[in-house]
Amino acid sequence: MENFKVEVDPDGIAVFLFDVPGRTMNTFTGSAVADLDALVARIRDDPAIKGAVLASGKANGFCAGADLGEMGDTAGRPVSGAAREAVLIDSSRMSRALRALETVGKPVAAALEGVALGGGFEFAQAAHRRFAARGLARVGLPEVTIGLLPGAGGTQRTPRLAGVPAALKLMLSGAPIDAETALAQGLVDAVVEPGQTVEAAKRWILDGGEGVQPWDRPGFAMPDGPYTPKGGETFMIAAADLQARHYGNYPARQNIVRCVYEGFGLPMDAALRVEARLFLATQRTPQARAMIRSNFLSKQALAKGSARPQEVAPFKVNKAAVLGAGMMGAGVAYAQARAGIETVLIDVTQEAADRGRSYSQKLVDAAVARGEMSAAAASSFMARIVATPDYSAIAGCDLVVEAVFEDTGLKADVTRRAEAMLEPGTVMASNTSTLPIGVLAQASQRPESFIGIHFFSPVDRMELVEIIVGVQTSRETLAKAMDYCRALKKVPIVVNDSRGFYTSRVFESYSFEGLEMLLEGIAPAIIDNVGRMTGMPRGPLELLDDVAIDLVDRIAGQRRRDLGVNGPLAGPELVLHQMVSAGRLGRKNGVGFYDYPEGGSKRLWSGLAALYPVKVATSSPELVESLKRRLLYRQAVEAARCMDEKVVTAARDADVGAILGWGFAPWTGGPMSLIDTAGVDVFTADCDALALAHGARFAPPPLLRRMAQSRQDFYPSSPEA
């Protein structure tokens, strides 16, 4: 066995230490799965072995799950006919090995000191007992977050251990749970002190623990099964909830529910065959391919800064300043302090700077109240943030982020004042959301050190950062900005300087398409419902309300002035202007496309129909399909234009930026993945048709035509398996 070390103690207990060579964390690579057969054979055939303990040789956990790099290779590839049976045998290999493990005839226990996720938790579930370390162990089945389902017995053993309600919650949320919660749900059998799990597991074996699973004993009944009141109710709600919240966009979710329902009354061997078929079907959907790629592999690569200029030495930020202690500045200061960076938070008055610092205090206090942070850690956290109006405190900083009002003159002024305090080469970054970096860099004495670091709101929760490279920005500055983002545990995408950069530009196309529909007379309720049906987090109109209509109107006005566009307002820009003129700014003043009655839920503004008369009040499947297509394709074609104009240079950045930045339908894997899944040629032809019907905003850029002609994809293509 390449991935397991085994030691048999004098009592005849074999401890198998899972330790994949050359990795910091265990994953089930093909080689580790292959080792499982040898592991089972050893337990079964070695007469000296009385029982076995499964443990980890890694300091940071038991196992993080399947190796998604390998899995990503076959995901989404269609498979049919005779090939399907051969592929099924291969894809269910781990499931069969784990079934052999739990029927090996000797007691097996798992010792969980850290995370046991996905395939790692399924491995542990095939043991007859699980011992988890207090405060360290976390278990979960996160497959759904990448468009998959647990395919090595998880959909069968989890409900048999924990009952239908807890099992579906674990698998449909994908969120891991701590040892105590797992114990309460029956997913682990004991919680012991850290470092004691192997001993506890051995003790259980020595005390006569039996190597038989509950479901292999006669008369086994699943707790809270589908035909109990609790289990039945969960199924009814789960089916309705999937439709209501996910509109059938995620086959993995439906198939998880199917696995539990179809498998529950069957003997384990048959139940596992049901799961194996549904796993393969799920793994071969375009959604799984797209989600494994964007939501996991690409995101991980970007988080590690894989596109960072390699020739630049690693850069450590010890001290950094934030100019402007408003909403964004306060959030950036918190993120820096959390990363251990000494932070100077500057605003025009001491009072304003203190207000920004108090934002961190609130978050830290809440963490202490939840028991997640000690009082000592809280006070050293807060000691890292110095709030002051005095620019001289910036001296000695390695990096400065400017987050003052969105005003070119003001930004120029603070840039000059900050640079006067800084060593040459110190990174000067702007958090501007709309102003060109090239223009802001004009105020800088050293434009090569000037860069855009665009955070998203709320900074402590949003993972994405859009790094904007100006024409004069040096590669060294880019590398340093990426290292800074990595220290903050953010996921950076790199874009070139241009109007709206990448995220704001493409995001706007979604809300504007909704406004086009409004002008065409489509009922506003239909527009927002269809928006959510595409998998976007909100409909276009409600989203405009949340962002603030006057903000979007101001940005559009600035663009017209910058581009020298004169003449009367028309289209979506006219709608924005009319709404602002009517005093309807969105959620922030309680009236926008919706009314927000105090204590009640929002409802569409009744006056909207007078401004935009409804011509299409009832929907049909055909209408829904055509509107869905417009809302998604409008964004995808704009993203393709960004690729064409080299605003973004990698499909990976475009996809991850879209999903993390504005919640672009995650099931698609992002706009470039959406185009690939449709087929570049098909997408291009569809956009031509949309352009004819609705206008040049759908016209495919030259890049798409070239790609369609030479049969290229944004990602390497997926031949039939």
State the minimum distance, in angstroms, from the CB of residue 417 to ligand NAI.
Answer: 8
| DSSP SS3 for 630 | helix
State the minimum distance, in angstroms, from the CB of residue 349 to ligand NAI.
Answer: 8
State the minimum distance, in angstroms, from the CB of residue 431 to ligand NAI.
Answer: 4
Which are the contacts of 287, defined by CB distance < 8 A and separation ≥ 6?
Answer: 76, 147, 249, 250, 251, 252, 667, 668, 669
Block residue for tokens 């809270």: 224
- For ligand NAI, give the closer residue by CB, 227 or 405: 405
- For ligand NAI, give the closer residue by CB, 558 or 712: 558
Tokens of 384: 């890292």
Among 326, 362, 329, smallest CA distance to 343 is for: 329
- Chain centre to alpha carbon of residue 631: 21
Among 248, 280, 278, 250, smallest CA distance to 263 is for: 278
Tokens of 669: 């894997």
φ/ψ bin of 148: left (φ > 0), alpha (ψ from -120 to 50), beta (otherwise): beta
- For ligand NAI, give the closer residue by CB, 276 or 414: 414
State the minimum distance, in angstroms, from the CB of residue 395 to ligand NAI.
Answer: 16
Catalytic residue among 246, 454, 577, 694: 454
Angstrom distance (rounded) from CA 164 to CA 238: 11
State the minimum distance, in angstroms, from the CB of residue 551 to ligand NAI.
Answer: 8
Separation of first and last alpha carbons in the chain: 29
Among 130, 96, 94, 104, smallest CA distance to 46 is for: 104
State the minimum distance, in angstroms, from the CB of residue 558 to ligand NAI.
Answer: 11
**Angle, CA of 381, 387 and 392, to the nearest 5°:** 120
Block residue for tokens 């506003």: 524
Residue nearest to ligand NAI (CB): 326
At 401, give phi and psi (nearest 5°).
-110, 125
Buried b (16+ CB within 10 A) or exposed e, 643-663: bbeebbebbbbbbbbbbbbbe
- For ligand NAI, give the closer residue by CB, 345 or 647: 345
- For ligand NAI, give the closer residue by CB, 402 or 655: 402
Q: State the Rg of the chain over Cα.
A: 28
Angstrom distance (rounded) from CA 537 to CA 521: 23
Which stretch of DSSP H or E encloses residue 504? helix 503-520
State the minimum distance, in angstroms, from the CB of residue 393 to ligand NAI.
Answer: 12
> Within a 10 A sphere around the Cβ of 614, how many other Cβ atoms?
14
DSSP-derived secondary structure letter, 305: T
Half-sphere exposure of 684 (CA within 13 A, CB side): 20
Binding site for ligand NAI (CB under 6 A): 323-329, 346-348, 352, 403-406, 410, 414, 431-433, 454-457
State the minimum distance, in angstroms, from the CB of residue 456 to ligand NAI.
Answer: 6
- For ligand NAI, give the closer residue by CB, 132 or 346: 346
- For ligand NAI, give the closer residue by CB, 148 or 485: 485
State the minimum distance, in angstroms, from the CB of residue 402 to ligand NAI.
Answer: 8
State the minimum distance, in angstroms, from the CB of residue 565 to ligand NAI.
Answer: 22
At 276, give phi and psi (nearest 5°).
-60, -40
- For ligand NAI, give the closer residue by CB, 54 or 346: 346
- For ligand NAI, give the closer residue by CB, 116 or 328: 328
- For ligand NAI, give the closer residue by CB, 14 or 401: 401
Burial of 615 (0-12, 13-18, 19+ CB in 10 A): exposed
Q: Would residue 128 show up in a list of annotated catalytic residues for this protein?
A: no
**Angle, CA of 479, 485 and 491, to the nearest 5°:** 110
Burial of 622 (0-12, 13-18, 19+ CB in 10 A): exposed
Active site members: 454
